[in-house]
Amino acid sequence: MGQSLTRKLIESHLVAGKPVIGEEVSLAVDQVLLTDTNGTLPWLQFEAMGFTRVIPPRVVTYIDHNVYQVDSRNSDDHRYLQTASRKYGAVFSKPGNGICHQVHMETYSIPGQTLLGTDSHTPLCGAAGMLAIGAGGLDVAVALGGGPYSFTMPAVVRVWLTGQLRPWVTAKDVILELLRRLSVRGGSGKIFEYGGPGLASLLAAQRMTIANMGAELTLTTSVFPSDDVTRSFLTRLNRGGDWRPATPDEDAEYDDQIELDLGSMGPLIALPGSPDRVVPIEEVAGTPVDQVMVGSCTNGSWHDMSSVTGVLILETMAREGLLADLLATGALVSESTCGSCAGIGHVPAAGTRSLRAFNRNFPGRSGVKGDEVYLCSSLVAAASALTGTITDPRTLGTPPDVQLPPRFAASEAGFVAPDSGGEVLRGPNIKPVPLGEPVAPALDASVLLKLGDKVSTDDISPAGAAVLVFRSNVPAIAEHCFKYVDAEFVARAKAAGRGIIVGGEIYGQGSSREAAAVGPMHLGIRAVIVKSFARIHRANLINWGIVPLTFDDPAAYDTIERDDRLHLPDLRAALKAGTRVTIANQRTGATFTTSCLLTPRERDILLAGGVLAYTKGGS
Ligand code: MIC
Ligand code: SF4
3-state secondary structure of 175: helix
- The CA distances from residue 595 to 529, 551, 575, in Å, are 9, 7, 9
pLDDT-derived band at 619, boundaries 50, 70, 90: very low
Is residue 120 within 6 Å of ligand 1 at its C-beta? Answer: yes
Write the residue with the smallest CA distance to atom 9 of ligand 1.
513
Q: State pLDDT tens for residues 475-502.
A: 999 999 999 999 999 999 999 999 999 9
Rounded to whole angstroms, the Cα distance separating 115 from 123 reads: 8
Instruction: Give domain 443-616's CATH architecture.
Output: Alpha-Beta Barrel (3.20)
Q: How far is the CA of 8 from the centre of ligand 1 (A)?
A: 29
Q: Report which protein residue has its CA nearest ligand 1's atom 1.
A: 511
Contact 381, 359 (CB under 8 A): no
Report how far residue 139's alpha carbon sits from residue 156's, in angstroms, rounded to the nearest whole number: 23
- Rounded Cα distance, 461 and 544, in Å: 15
- Domain locations along the chain: 5-262, 272-394, 443-616
Q: Structure pTM?
A: 0.96
Is residue 155 scored above 50 in pLDDT? yes
The reply to whether ligand 1 has any atom less than 6 angstroms from the CB of 38 is yes
Summarize the confidence of residues 344-350 as an average pLDDT: 93
Mean pLDDT, residues 322-335 taken together: 82
DSSP string, 151-164: EEPPEEEEEEEES-
CATH number of 272-394: 3.30.499.10
Cα 292 to averaged position of ligand 1 atoms, centre (Å): 21
Question: Are 5-262 and 443-616 equal in CATH topology?
Answer: no
Q: At what angle do helices 72-88 and 36-48 cross, to 10 degrees?
A: 50
CA of 138 to the centre of ligand 1 (A): 15
Does the pLDDT at position 401 exceed 90? no
- Looking at the CA of 103, name the nearest ligand: 2
CB 593 within 8 A of CB 582: yes
| 524-540 as b/e: b if 16+ CB within 10 A | bbbbbbbbbbbbbbbbb
pLDDT(317) > 50 = no
Ligand in closest contact with the CA of 100: 2
Kindly indicate the confidence band of residue 320, based on its pLDDT and cuts at 50, 70 and 90.
low
pLDDT tens column, 513-533: 999 999 999 999 999 999 999
Q: Does domain 5-262 have CATH number 3.30.499.10?
A: yes
Q: How far away, in angstroms, is 380 Cα from ligand 1 center?
A: 24
User: 87: helix, coil or strand?
Assistant: helix
Q: From the CA of 342, give the closest atom in ligand 2.
A: 7
Average pLDDT score, the chain = 94
Q: Measured in whole angstroms, how far is the alpha carbon of residue 17 from the centre of its chain?
A: 25
pLDDT for position 312: 74
Q: Mutate which of 99, 216, 365 to test ligand 2's pocket (most atoms within 8 Å of Cβ)?
A: 99
Give residue 562's identity as a one-letter amino acid code.
Answer: R
Atom 5 of ligand 1, residue of closest alpha carbon: 342
> Does the pLDDT of residue 381 top 70, yes or no?
yes
Question: Best substitution site from 41, 65, 341, 344 to test ligand 1's pocket, by max atoms within 8 Å of Cβ?
Answer: 65
Which pLDDT score, from 0 to 100, does residue 203 have?
96
d(CA 75, CA 56): 27
Q: What is the pLDDT of residues 11-69, one digit of tens each?
A: 999 999 999 999 999 999 999 999 999 999 999 999 999 999 999 999 999 999 988 87
Q: Which residue's C-alpha comes closest to atom 2 of ligand 2?
A: 341
Residues near ligand 2 with C-beta < 6 Å? Answer: 65, 99, 119, 121, 296-297, 338, 341-342, 359-360
* CA-360 nearest atom, ligand 1: 2
Written as one letter, the residue type at 383 is A
**Predicted local distance difference test score (pLDDT) of residue 314:** 46
Q: Rounded to the nearest whole angstrom, what is the distance from the C-alpha of residue 404 to the centroid of ligand 1?
A: 30
Atom 1, ligand 2: residue with shortest CA distance: 338
Q: How far is the CA of 520 from the centre of ligand 1 (A)?
A: 18
Model confidence pLDDT, tens digit, residues 196-217 = 999 999 999 999 999 999 999 9
CB 513 less than 6 A from any atom of ligand 1:
yes
Minimal-distance CA residue to ligand 1 atom 10: 513
Q: For the stretch 442-474, what's the b/e string if a residue is b when 16 or more beta carbons lie within 10 angstroms of its beta carbon?
A: ebebbbbbbbeebbbbbbbbbbbbebbbbbbbb
Q: Which atom of ligand 2 is nearest to the CA of 64?
A: 1
Ligand 1 centroid, distance to 540 Cα (angstroms): 14
Instruction: State the closest ligand 1 atom to the C-alpha of 119, by its place in the atom list counted from 1.
Output: 14
Q: Cα(145)–Cα(574) distance, rounded to whole angstroms?
A: 32
pLDDT at 327: 81
CB distance 468 to 521 below 8 Å: no
Ligand nearest to the CA of 337: 2
240: CA distance to ligand 1 center in Å? 31
**What percentage of the chain exceeds 70 in pLDDT?**
98
Q: Which residue puts its alpha carbon closest to atom 2 of ligand 1? A: 511
